[in-house]
Amino acid sequence: MKPNAGSPGSVDNKTSDRVDLSRRRAIQSGGLAIAFLWLGGGGVAQAMINARRQPGDAAAALADGNPPFAPNAFIRIDTDGAVRLVMSSAEMGQAIYTGSSMLLAEELGVGLDQITVEHSPASDELYGTPMLGGQITGGSTSTRSTWQVLREAGAVARTMLISVAAEQWHVDPSTCTVDRGVVHHTVSGRSLGFGELASAAGKLPMPDKVQLKDPKDFQLIGKPMRRVDSADKVKGATQFGIDVRLPGMKIAVVKACPVLNGKLAKVDDKAARAIPGVVDVIRIDDAVAVVGDNFWVAKQGLDALDITWHPGENANLTTQQLRDALVESSLNGKSIIAREVGSRPADGTVVESQYQSPMLAHATMEPLNATVFVTSDKCEIWVGSQVPARVLSTAAKITGLSEDKVIVHNQYLGGGFGRRLETDSPEQAVAFAKQMSYPLKVIWTREEDIRHDRVRPMYHDRISAVLDANGRPVWYGYRTSGGTVLGRFAPGAMGKDGLDSDAIECAIEPPYDIPNVKVEWIRHDMPPGLVVGWWRGVGSTHNLFVIESFMDELAHHAGKDPLEYRRALLQKNPRTLAVLNLAAEKIGWGSSPLPSRVARGIALGEPFGSRVCAIVEVEVTAQGEVRLRRAVVSLDCGIGVNPSSIEAQIQGGLLFGLSAALYNEITIKDGAIEQGNFYDYRVLRINETPLIEVHRVENNEAPGGLGEVGTAIAAPALANAIFAATGVRLYKLPVDRSLLVQDAAALKSVVSAAAASDGRMAP
């Protein structure tokens, strides 16, 4: 990969697939990705996705209708000129279908209005990315891991189409140009459409070298393009997994043992079966489902069941027990050193704090579901998944069929946020459906979706610094403890000594100039059944809350302005300093005094290979209620493929993080998750949403991640703003509003008539 990713130049077959494993690059990859990169060349981190690898005959015939020209797994051109692009990543809202299409179309030479996009079939071989070691959409890696290969895939196709035209015209290919699906020879005024060239192009050998565009010639990349999936989504025409309808299909509504890891003992289904429209009641080890003609009747049946569970060893489990054990581990557990530079100075002022982060659910708007049809020699699955190839292989195991007998039809995802990186729901659906002779759509109610989430783990962190006489940190120590997601998801990707690289993401190498560092991780496994999972931002989201809150503590300790304090520590990191300065300028930091209990908080970080600064302005009422007034986010994500999506991802991501920081915590009582729906697992609404400005530092650096960046930076900006408004440092999420009460009298008076000042600022 070229040092300057946006530079033009020829790329050949070999270099484009090589993974850059330099350390700094690895750090910038972030999250889920970083772990796989750390494996080095010998592990799963081998190039899979490839600009020249073509689908096998069977898969092509099935998925593509044997198009005449399919130079790789992404581009299909038919004789009528129709261009179909196969998406390597899953679309869950992050606009990757648009971004991927832009990369392909830019080099291929078509407009976005001339293409259609298709979900990819399940295949690690064709769509697996080296960053994640498989066909996995997550870790904010999609653009980063396909930026090069998809452009090259487009260029390969374009080169071949030009070759055919040039040959027909007997001209030098370099004198031909491509525009909107047509190859032109301007000098002679001749042109041929892609459709006319497709059959001949399909017979050509692969070109070894192709020329990528100079960024200054980009037609699409860098422009705020409308999403390719918008038109259907505004009409309700997009098919999500839950919308799949098949002939003869029945619908199952499911209830698994509410106590984590509990099992099904017995079910009295007499009353359920008596309900007209209930077709069957089916059981697996830990769950029961009622099958009906429609969701409603199946749900009525489910409610009519008399179920007895074996709660098992978690029967008395509570959040407090989990928390106590975690705190104990953080104190006395055996740590793995992630990074150690220099040593802790004996002199200087020591500042130490402890922070706690809660378990979190995903609550995607589309509750989990999967539709499965199992016959004696085939298993078909319709599901919106971030890991279609994993769904395929687990389904093969459950059904006993070979993998070539399992077909996964991926769908649009009604939100992912890491929840659909898991295969628990489709696995359960397969286990139910293999008992039936017809296609079965298994839907989780919202309550089931939250109570059986695979939660973002809880964390307990000890952070400390030694300050010099000027209040500048000369040593920084970070000791984080929590469950490991990576250790279960990809045990082979665990690092040296069993280190979970996600757990220390953003903590291991903060952007600041601190000479001595010690970062440790303590693995603290949760009880069986309490499965911890990926979440939007996972490690980065929690570590940035701790580190950036602590940086504010240090600034306060040093008696410095939080902006100036950070600036002073960024003199060796100009890219990140520029991001900080941009946000400060755009919000007008320090320019005018703010009302009482109104204040701003800064947070800065380098998550997922991007650099980001959020400044959030809040008002804290006398009763401790927090109102979001305004937010400015500045970002350096390198080359921006689609500035519209960048803005949308940062806005949405920030609000996702603020929503969690303000309201969300999964708690456990009697071994079961207590929350179940939006009234007890609260989600930010439009009337709580401030205007969020997004500003970019533009350059031609390699693309950074986006999907999780806004989320990761949200909580510390909020906590720092609350500190600035109230003087109360929040060491625990979500925000405990009772700590923010101005004085006891505030709770003794009637507050309704006191209208809040309108926090919303005009653009």
Partner 1 sequence: MLSLSVNGESHSVDVPPDMPLLWVLRDVIGLTGTKFGCGIAQCGACTVHLDGQPVRSCVLAVGSIGSKAVTTIEAIGDTPSGQKIQQAWLDADVVQCGYCQSGQIMSATALLKRSPNPTDAEIDAAMSGNICRCATYVRIRAAIKQAATGKPEGMQTIVTAPEGAAS
Partner 2 sequence: MKRFLGIVVALLIVGVAAYFWLNRTDASEGTAPVIVGAPAAADVLARGEYLTKAADCTACHTVPGSGKHFAGGVAFRLPFGTIYSSNITADADTGIGSWSDDDFVRAVREGIRKDGKRLYPAFPYTSYTQLSRPDVLAIKAYLSSLPKISQSTRPNDLGFPFNQRWAMGFWNAAFFKSQRFVADPSKSPQWNSGQYLATALGHCAECHTPRDVGFGLERRNELAGETLQGWRAYNITSDTAHGIGAWSDSDIASYLATGHADGRGSASGPMGEVVENSLQYLKPEDTAALVVYLRSVPAREGSDPISIDAHAAPVLASTDTAPGGDRTDANSAGLKLFEGACASCHQWNGKGQQTPYASLLGSRGVNDVSGTNVTQVILQGSKMRIDEHDVFMPAFAKAYSDTEVSTLANYVIAHFGNKVETVTPDVVAKRRQL
Contacts to partner 1 from residues 239-278, by CB under 8 A: 239-240, 242-243, 245, 251, 276
In a 13 Å sphere around the CA of 194, the CA atoms on its Cβ side amount to 29
| Cβ atoms 379, 430 nearer than 8 A | yes
753 binds partner 2 (CB under 8 A): yes
Backbone angles phi and psi of 330, in degrees to 5? -65, -25
- Which residue's entry shows tokens 């991501």? 653
Residues 683-702, interacting with partner 2 (CB under 8 A): 685, 687-688
74 binds partner 1 (CB under 8 A): no
224 binds partner 1 (CB under 8 A): yes
Our CA angle for 327, 322, 458, nearest 5°, is 75
CB atoms within 10 A of CB 232: 12
CB of 735 to partner 2, least distance (A): 10
| Cβ atoms 587, 600 nearer than 8 A | yes
748 binds, among partner 2, partner 1, none (CB under 5 to 8 A by kind): partner 2
404 binds, among partner 1, partner 2, none (CB under 5 to 8 A by kind): none
Residues 353-412, interacting with partner 1 (CB under 8 A): 363-367, 412
Question: Binder to partner 1 among 24, 334, 679, 752 (CB under 8 A)?
Answer: 679
Q: Which of 596, 589, 629, 592 is nearest to 613 (CA)?
A: 589
CB of 331 to partner 1, least distance (A): 36
749 binds partner 2 (CB under 8 A): yes
629 binds partner 1 (CB under 8 A): no
Residues 289-318, interacting with partner 2 (CB under 8 A): 306
- Which residue's entry shows tokens 């399992």? 406
CB of 628 to partner 2, least distance (A): 12
CB of 631 to partner 2, least distance (A): 18
Nearer Cβ to partner 1 (446/567): 446
d(CA 622, CA 754): 11
Nearer Cβ to partner 1 (509/647): 647
Residues 256-295, interacting with partner 2 (CB under 8 A): none
Backbone angles phi and psi of 11, in degrees to 5? -125, 145
753 binds partner 1 (CB under 8 A): no
At a CB cut-off of 8 Å and minimum separation 6, what does 109 contact? Answer: 154, 158, 178, 179, 180, 181
CB of 312 to partner 2, least distance (A): 20
CB of 20 to partner 1, least distance (A): 30
Question: Binder to partner 2 among 376, 591, 592, 738 (CB under 8 A)?
Answer: 738
DSSP string, 444-469: --HHHHHHT--BBPPEEEEEEEEE-T
Nearer Cβ to partner 2 (316/437): 316
Nearer Cβ to partner 1 (284/691): 691
643 binds partner 1 (CB under 8 A): yes
| Cβ atoms 376, 401 nearer than 8 A | no
674 binds partner 2 (CB under 8 A): yes
- Site residue total, partner 2 (CB under 8 A): 31
CB of 224 to partner 1, least distance (A): 5
Residues 297-336: x/- map of binding to partner 1 (CB under 8 A)?
A: x---------------------------------------
Residues 693-712: x/- map of binding to partner 1 (CB under 8 A)?
A: xx------------------
Q: Residue 31: what residue type?
A: G
- CB burial readout 307-330, b (16+ within 10 A) else e: bebebbebeebebeebbebbbebb
Nearer Cβ to partner 2 (94/675): 675
Nearer Cβ to partner 1 (217/340): 217
DSSP string, 689-754: PPEEEEEE----SPP---TTHHHHHHHHHHHHHHHHHHS----BSS--GGGG-S-GGGGSS--SSS
Q: Does a cis peptide bond (omega within 30 degrees of 0) precede residue 562?
A: no
Give Cα 316 distance to the centre of its chain: 33
- Site residue total, partner 1 (CB under 8 A): 87
760 binds partner 1 (CB under 8 A): yes
Q: Residue 14: what residue type?
A: K
Our CA angle for 260, 262, 266, nearest 5°, is 145
Question: Binder to partner 1 among 15, 116, 316, 437 (CB under 8 A)?
Answer: 116
CB of 292 to partner 1, least distance (A): 9
692 binds, among partner 1, partner 2, none (CB under 5 to 8 A by kind): partner 1
Question: Binder to partner 1 among 17, 78, 91, 380 (CB under 8 A)?
Answer: 91
What are residue 360's DSSP bridge partners? 456
| Cβ atoms 657, 683 nearer than 8 A | no
| Cβ atoms 664, 658 nearer than 8 A | no
Question: Binder to partner 1 among 12, 208, 217, 232 (CB under 8 A)?
Answer: 232
763 binds partner 2 (CB under 8 A): no
d(CA 307, CA 302): 9
663 binds partner 2 (CB under 8 A): yes
Nearer Cβ to partner 1 (2/299): 299
Taking CB under 8 A as the binding criterion, the range among 2-10, 674-682, 690-698, 718-726 that sits at the site for partner 2 is 674-682
| Cβ atoms 645, 291 nearer than 8 A | no
762 binds partner 2 (CB under 8 A): no
Q: Residue 732: what residue type?
A: K
| Cβ atoms 642, 143 nearer than 8 A | no
Give Cα 131 distance to the centre of its chain: 14
346 binds partner 2 (CB under 8 A): no
752 binds partner 1 (CB under 8 A): no
The residues of the shown chain that bind partner 2, judged by CB under 8 A, are 306, 621, 623-625, 663, 674-675, 677, 679-682, 685, 687-688, 737-738, 746-758
